[in-house]
Structures are given as C-alpha cells and as structure tokens.
Amino acid sequence: MTSYDHKKIEKKWQTRWRKSGVYRTKEQNGGKKFYVLDMFPYASGEGLHVGHPKGYIATDVYSRFMRSNGYSVLHPMGFDAFGLPAENYALANKINPAVAVAHNVKRFKEQLEKIGLDYDWSREINTTDPAYYRWTQWIFLQMFKAGLAYESNEPINWCPSCKTGLANEDVDDGRCERCGTPVEKKPMRQWVLKITDYAEKLLDGLGGLDWPESIKELQRNWIGKSEGALISFEIKNQKSKIKNIEVFTTRADTLFGATYLVLAPEHELLKNKELGITNYDEVLRYIVTSRTKTEIERTAEGKEKTGVELKGVKAINPANNEEIPIFVADYVLAGYGTGAIMAVPAHDERDWQFAKKYNLPIKQVILTGMVTGRKLSEFDGKSALFGEKFDNSLWKEHYKNNGVLLNSGKFDGMNSEEAKDKIANFVGGKSVTKYKLRDWVFSRQRYWGEPIPLVFCETCKTQAEKSKIKNQKSNISRGEQLNPGWVPVPEDKLPVKLPNVKSYEPTGTGESPLANIKNWVNVKCPKCGGEGKRETNTMPQWAGSCWYYLRYTDPKNKKAFADRKKMDYWLGTGLPLRNSAEQNAGGVDFYVGGAEHATRHLIYARFWHQFLFDKGLVAHSEPFKKLQHVGLILAEDGRKMSKRWGNIINPDDIIERFGADALRVYEMFMGPFDQSVVWNTDNLVGAKRFLERVWRTKDKIKDKTLKIKNEALEIALHQTIKKVTEDIKEFKFNTAISQLMIFTNVLEKRDEIPQIVFETFLTLLTPFAPHIAEELWELIGNKKSIQQVPWPTYKAEFLSEIESVVAVQINGKTRGTIMLSPAATQDEAIKKALAEPQLKKWIGEGNPRKVVYIAGKILSIVV
Ligand code: ANZ
Ligand code: ZN
C-alpha cells in the first residue's frame, strides 16, 4: 500500500497535462460550447495570496464539469498590467515597469500552474503586449472617429500623490482609489469618453442579464437616472447681462416653496462679473476656498452648510413672482443637473439646514401623508391621517415625501405627483432626464499605459474648423470635427508603441513623462505631412480590460481585434445567429470575479461592447451573460489579506505542505461561494484527510470483475451523482463536496467495492481534485486520461427508492419519525405512522381532526 504523496502526484500530472494538451480549446460544429471566464488578475508585485484562486478554482471546476458533459469549453487566462499599480510598484522598486511586469507575470503564472488549473495557455494575453494594445488603440480610434472621444479642459479629479488625473470611478470616498490621498479638483487638458451617451443603454441592458441583483443595483445607482424639469428663473438686476438662471429639479411640485436659489461655486455665471454682483470679492474668496474641499466634504449629510449671498442680484420665482435671494454654496455640485438649484427648505433637508443657518424663509407647500381627495379645509393640523402640523424648527424625514399641495395658488389640494408636470408646464419648464454618470476621463499623465494614437497638427486644425463651419461631408471624421487639429494615426500604423525611456517618473506638471521625448513626440502629420505632435497622455488602467474577453476567442489575429466568426461562436449559441432574441442573449456564458468591479470594469466593458455592437463589429449586445461574484477569503485575524497587515497566506506554502488538491477542496468547501469566509488552517487539514481517505479506499478494489449487487450502495452512488451534478451547476461547491465525503464514508464501511463504483466516484471528484483523481484512475488500470471521461448520469429509478426521515407531530409536539419515499401520499404516511406503536399511542383510535403532510419533511396530525 503506497501512501498519498501529493507532491509527486501533482508534479507528474501537471507535466503530463501540459505535454498532452488535454486542456486545449477545441471548437466543435453544432453548438454545445461554453465560455467560462475569470476576471484576469492584475499583475502586481505581490503575487497571489490564497484568496485570489478561489474564483479561479471555481471556474476550473465548472469548466472541467462542462467539458466532461460534452461541451467545447473556452477557459482562458491572461494578465492586465498597464496603469498605476504596476507603475507605482516599479517606481518604488526602481525597476522599469516593463521589466517588473514581465517578472510578475511569470511569478503569477507559476503560481496558477501549481494549482492545477486547466487554462488553455496557448491563448494567454497580456494587455501590455503591443500585439494586444494595437487593438485597444484601434477600438479607441473607432470611438474617436464616431465622435465619442473629446478633448476637455474641465476641472477633474487630480491625485497629488500619483500626479495624475483620475476618472470619477477611480475616486472612493473622495480619495484616490490607488493610494488613499484625498483628490483635488484641477482644470486640466484631458481626453474624455462620452459614456453618458450610453447611459440609457447601460441601464436598459441590465434587465436581460443573469447577474446578482446587488451588482445590477450598484450599476443602476452609479448611472443614477433622474427624471425632472429644467426651470428658468429670471434675474432681477439692471446691471446683469444675464437674464436667467436655469435649475434642475425633480420636485417641480414644490416650486411655490422655493425661497432662494443656489449656484455651485464652479458655476459658469460666477466666472466673471456679468451678474453684476456687488460683493464679488467675497464671493470669489468663497469660490477659492471651496476648491480645497473634496466632493464628500461638500455634500456629506452631517456637514455644516456654508455659502455666500450674491449681493445686488435677485431672482424671481416664476410660480408666484416673489423676489428671492441667490447664494453660492458648495453643497451644490457643478457636475450635476445645471449646477444650480431652487432651494425648498421645507421639503429638502440640505436646503433646510442652510435656511436655518442663514435665516431664510421656510415655506411648506406639501402636506405629506395627506390622503388625496380630501379637502384641505378638513385639515386640523393634528390628525395623523392628514399629516401632522409642520414644524419649522425640526427636520422630519417625512417632509420630503409626496402629499397634497398647499400654499401653491391654484394648485392647492392637488396630489404632488400630478403637480410635478402641471407646475412645470405652468412656468414653461422643460422635462429632462439627468444621469449621475459622468463622462469617462480617459487620459492619464503617466508613462505606463497605452499611448493614445492621435497626432496634433496646426494645419489640419484650420481645415477641420473650416469643415465644421461649412458642415462639409469630407474625409474629416466626427472626431476630428469635434477636436480640431487632432488627427488619428492611420490604422495600419498601429500600434503606437510606448517608447523606452530612462525616466518615467510622473512630472506633476500635468504632462506625461512622454512629453519629454522629443523624437517620439515630433512626427509628421499623418494627414497633411506637416509638423505634428503626438498625444503624450496615456490610457487608464481600465482600457485593456474593456475588450480582452473578445481577444481570447482569437488571440493571435493580426488582421482584426478578433475574427467575427470566432467571437460569434464563443459569445453566441455555438450556431449561427438566428434572431434578435439571440442577439440580446449573448455574451460570455459565465463570468466570475470580485464584486469590487461593479462600477468600473463592468460598466466600462459594457460600454465598449455596446459601442462595438452599434458599429456592427460584434453580434451580441452585451458582453457578459451570467455573472457570479466571489466571496472574499479573509485572513485568520478576520481582516482582508494585505501586505499592510502582514497576514497574507501564500498558496505556494500551502501547496507545498498540503497539496494543490487539498487547497482546491478546502477553498470550495469553506462555505457558500459568494460569501466571505475566514481562512482556517485546521479545516484545510480536514480537506487533506479527506483526500487521504479517498486514497486508501482504492485498496478496497480486490476483484476487478465484481459487480454492484448491493442495492444500498447503488442508491448511494446515484444519489451522489445527482447531488454533485446539480450542485456544481448552481455553484454550490461546498454541498457537492460534502456529498462526496458522505459517499466516501459509505465506501469506507465496506470490505470490498466494485471498480465501476470507484471509477464513477473518481469522475465526480475530478473537477475538485484533478491530480489525485487522475493518479488513482491510472493506478486502477485506466490508460485514457480521466479528464476525457464523460460525466456520469444517474438513474432516476434508484432515487425514487430513497426514503427520507419524516418527523411526526401530534397536536404540535414531535413524537417520533417515520421513513417515507418522496412519492408517498398522505394516506400512506398516516398508515406508516399508525404502524408504529409509540406513535399510535398518541394518535389514538378516532379520526384525526386535521392532517398536514409535507412530503419528505413533516407529518402533522391534530386529534
Ligand atoms: C427642488 C427640490 C425640492 C429638490 C425638494 C429636492 C427636494 P436626484 O434625485 O439625485 O436627481 N439638485 C439638483 N442639482 C443639484 C446639484 N448640482 N447639486 C446638488 N443638488 C442638486 O436629485 C435631484 C434634486 O437634487 C433636485 O431636486 C435638486 O433639488 C437637487 F423638496 O429641487 B430638488
Ligand atoms: Zn496635419
């Protein structure tokens, strides 16, 4: 009897699998294909910890399962490596980012291979490979040409430590997502992608996706659709050159209660003296101070509100022609709506806080909780039914609710929902839809990213401006018209390679380090041959991951980002597209990764994909059909694993001591897949023991010709096949493994087991513990790899024989149990209960008054 030597076995099989190419992706005709994808790792310097592989092991289990069910499976892996994390790591360690990334990728790959994952490495991709980013640049150019990229000088989020501009999505709680430094607002030349053009499509598409509801909800909130109205307030001041201020409101019904207006400090109208403000110096000081605050500081609920009144100017409330003051206050944000609001302190908490502080009138216009259809005159100020009396001195949550209008002229008594449109129309307002989603700031003033493939040319600038005026149809794309002077690098000149530089430190000047490489920057204009200059900003970290799942379908293609047929095959049904329903039901079949990507990668990638779809470049409207998120593995101290806390567990050590199979079984067994679990080495030992028991079980095969004769064994086997099959399908790996353990107990109790039973068991074990399963499979005399053995099917006739324990309650007390098959009827259940003397004693002779029978669970009798 040999002992279970995990090191020897795992090494042996990893080498053999690599050589034999069992995991090579094979496209087969006629459907039955499955694309299962991991969110590829970011090749950082720290390598993998034991938390990372949880998702990878799960997709591995799934892809092995699908393959043995006859599917062609695409299960690829690659590396994301451009962007701040890799560059910051390289800077800290004083190595070139390209060298650091190559080193990190090698390390990651070794670690992944040791886990025995079935990736088809012949399809590996790396976002920093010029052969890859050539196509990232190409897709960017298509967006540019379509007018979806524009140059902007708006103030954006700036991280003073990373010395680069950031997208809204890169800011967490007012801090740089990379380094935790509070972000500042800084006006800067940027490239921006018009993701807002896709806001509606991004919302719409969510409906058809098989994603966790929580992630869809995060996206909905991030997109933040609001239906409201634009209402114009006339300005009263002889000296003002501006006649009106427009506000965005979702509560036009409260217009009669608007007692002042507020402009965001960055509002256009405050940029010069056009409003004729008499205290402009004071206003300007306020504007300057508010620049130092982060958005969070400005809008946080508990924060004290500040502001300055614009002296010498008033506005007219168009509903009642009352004169109201105008303020500048930083609780109003420039980037949303029109950057100006009508303040209704009786029904908006922030306005209320502000009004309290500056002693502004508070005017109730909605009776919240009021039942519609009742007359206002019936309201006595007390009845709860009619809403209680409004109290100016104290804010109450229900003040912001809907209700019935009062103090609103001819609208009094109207339901507030109904009044929204009516009042907006009354004052000539326009209904509009606004989104919280901001356009995507797409350039970084850093070295380590895809160069943006554009050249600036003065001559062409003049041309483009002319064509814009004449609105000519010419060889000038919408992007060039929108951005006069910017000329795309011709597609056959891609990639624009990132040049090698000596110094790639961020400059902090708002320019990328590439700006200093004169012989790279200065080029001939691709259009007119004149003097041009390259764009020196680079793309953000999230660019490469916007389309990588497409590249896996055809990773070596030199003529296109991927062959259309291959994409259609892997993202479709495996058969040619037949109708629009299939168009909207395509995408990667199964995508597994961390929930932290909900509002970045998963929105950006959907945006790019929808653009490609609109261009007719992909067949399906969404990239990821089904999504599953991975629960975190926390360190033994209950915290997130991090270098910072010194609590990282390295999978290499675990594999060395316990084996990859034990690690795999443990991680799949530790709890429901999408929940966070604390790492526990004792439980890992348990997984290892389980495999040792499996190992010893093979010695119970004594006579290879032994047939299954024992019915109980057969039932247990089919029960196990069924349970494991169904659980894997639903990502319930923990209960699948627990069934394998139960079955191992059954095998252990026997002196001898038929080979066929053990073989079936090994097939079920393979997805979880492929090395040991393969080794035992070979030891009992099989030549062909177990990876190619079809998944076993269960026989239903055995299952119907399984009896389960049913509790018997008499008058509400459990008095005993009976065994029943799931098909048993209520009468049979009663009969069985009566056959048990200790139950019969309680039931007695008479007819029961009431019987409830829940099959397989409980029989309840009231006598
Ligand atoms: C009057 C009003 C009365 C409002 C009321 C609310 C309650 P959502 O739903 O998030 O879209 N608002 C508009 N633009 C703003 C800006 N740039 N910065 C801060 N606040 C802004 O919110 C829309 C509401 O937020 C708008 O409706 C406006 O206040 C405010 F009882 O107008 B409301
Ligand atoms: Zn030119």
Structure confidence by residue, pLDDT tens digits, 264-308: 999 999 988 888 899 999 999 999 998 877 776 777 777 889 999
- Ligand 1 center–CA 299 separation, angstroms: 12
Any idea which ligand is nearest the CA of 484? 2
Please name every residue paired with 42 in a beta bridge, in sequence order, or none if there are none.
80
Whether the CB of 401 sits within 6 Å of ligand 1: no
Whether the CB of 341 sits within 6 Å of ligand 1: yes
Instruction: With H, G, I as helix, E, B as strand and everything else as coil, classify residue 575.
Output: coil
Cα(204)–Cα(833) distance, integer angstroms: 55
Alpha helical stretches, state H, 787-845: 796-799, 826-834, 837-843
- Other beta carbons within 10 Å of 341: 26
Average pLDDT of the chain is: 90
Task: Take residue 661 and report the two structure tokens written for it.
Answer: 């199979």
Domain spanning 804-862, CATH architecture = Roll (3.10)
- Ligand 1 center–CA 337 separation, angstroms: 8
Residues above pLDDT 90, as percent of the chain: 65
Whether the CB of 221 sits within 6 Å of ligand 1: no
Q: Which residues surround ligand 2, an ion (CB under 5 A)?
A: 457, 459-460, 525, 527-528, 530
Any idea which ligand is nearest the CA of 461? 2
Whether the CB of 344 sits within 6 Å of ligand 1: yes
What pLDDT score was predicted for residue 385? 47
In 3D, which of 455, 521, 506 has the Cα closest to residue 483? 455
Query: Which is the closest atom of ligand 1 to the Cα of 252?
Result: 1
Do residues 244 and 206 make contact, with C-beta atoms less than 8 angstroms apart? no
What pLDDT score was predicted for residue 384? 43
What pLDDT score was predicted for residue 377? 60
Any idea which ligand is nearest the CA of 400? 1
Whether the CB of 719 sits within 6 Å of ligand 1: no
Amino acid at 625: K
Q: What are the domain boundaries of the chain?
A: 154-188, 225-435, 804-862
Q: What is the mean pLDDT of residues 720-738?
A: 95
- In this prediction, residue 596 has a pLDDT band, given cuts at 50, 70 and 90, of confident
Closest protein CA for atom 7 of ligand 1? 348
Q: What are phi and psi of 809, to 5 degrees?
A: -105, 135
- In this prediction, residue 854 has a pLDDT band, given cuts at 50, 70 and 90, of confident
Closest protein CA for atom 28 of ligand 1? 249
Closest protein CA for atom 18 of ligand 1? 332
Whether the CB of 435 sits within 6 Å of ligand 1: no
| CA terminus-to-terminus distance, the chain | 61
Closest protein CA for atom 25 of ligand 1? 249
- In this prediction, residue 487 has a pLDDT band, given cuts at 50, 70 and 90, of very high
Whether the CB of 251 sits within 6 Å of ligand 1: yes
Helix (H) or strand (E) holding 125: strand 125-126
What pLDDT score was predicted for residue 694? 97
Cα(446)–Cα(178) distance, integer angstroms: 14
Higher pLDDT: 739 or 510? It is 739
Whether the CB of 342 sits within 6 Å of ligand 1: yes
Whether the CB of 223 sits within 6 Å of ligand 1: no
Q: Which of 223, 231, 246, 248 to mutate to test the pocket of ligand 1 (most atoms within 8 A of CB)?
A: 248
Whether the CB of 337 sits within 6 Å of ligand 1: yes
- Give the chain's count of helices (H) and strands (E): 28, 33
Tens-digit pLDDT profile for residues 372-426: 455 556 655 554 444 567 788 888 888 898 888 989 999 998 999 999 999 999 9
Higher pLDDT: 799 or 718? It is 718
Cα(821)–Cα(805) distance, integer angstroms: 9
- Other beta carbons within 10 Å of 286: 19
Residue 588 pLDDT exceeds 70: yes
Tens-digit pLDDT profile for residues 757-779: 999 999 999 999 999 999 999 99
What pLDDT score was predicted for residue 1? 58
- Ligand 2 center–CA 465 separation, angstroms: 13
What pLDDT score was predicted for residue 84? 84
Lowest mean pLDDT among 87-96, 97-106, 135-144, 337-346: 87-96
CA distances for 800 relative to 803, 820, 828, angstroms: 8, 10, 15
- In this prediction, residue 473 has a pLDDT band, given cuts at 50, 70 and 90, of low
- In this prediction, residue 592 has a pLDDT band, given cuts at 50, 70 and 90, of very high
Encode 516-534 in three state secondary structure: HCHHHHEEECCCCCCEEEE
- Ligand 2 center–CA 472 separation, angstroms: 18
Residue 687 pLDDT exceeds 70: yes
What pLDDT score was predicted for residue 335? 82
Whether the CB of 248 sits within 6 Å of ligand 1: yes
User: Topology of domain 225-435, per CATH?
Assistant: Isoleucyl-tRNA Synthetase; domain 2 (3.90.740)
E-strand spans in 540-659? 590-593, 627-629, 633-634
- In this prediction, residue 823 has a pLDDT band, given cuts at 50, 70 and 90, of low
Q: What is the mean pLDDT of residues 45-54?
A: 87
Closest protein CA for atom 22 of ligand 1? 250
**Any residues with CB less than 8 A from the CB of 76 and at least 6 apart, and which?**
25, 37, 119, 120, 123, 124, 125, 552, 555
Residue 58 pLDDT exceeds 60: yes
Any idea which ligand is nearest the CA of 436? 1
Whether the CB of 754 sits within 6 Å of ligand 1: no
Whether the CB of 400 sits within 6 Å of ligand 1: yes
Whether the CB of 226 sits within 6 Å of ligand 1: yes
Any idea which ligand is nearest the CA of 317? 1
Higher pLDDT: 318 or 333? It is 318
What pLDDT score was predicted for residue 703? 82
Residue 654 pLDDT exceeds 50: yes
Query: Which is the closest atom of ligand 1 to the Cα of 346?
Result: 31
Residue 238 pLDDT exceeds 80: no
Closest protein CA for atom 20 of ligand 1? 332
Please name every residue paired with 74 in a beta bridge, in sequence order, or none if there are none.
35
Query: Which is the closest atom of ligand 1 to the Cα of 339?
Result: 17
Closest protein CA for atom 9 of ligand 1? 226
- Ligand 1 center–CA 348 separation, angstroms: 8
Whether the CB of 423 sits within 6 Å of ligand 1: no
In 3D, which of 797, 847, 800, 812 has the Cα closest to residue 827? 847
- In this prediction, residue 838 has a pLDDT band, given cuts at 50, 70 and 90, of confident
Do residues 14 and 111 make contact, with C-beta atoms less than 8 angstroms apart? no
Residues above pLDDT 70, as percent of the chain: 96
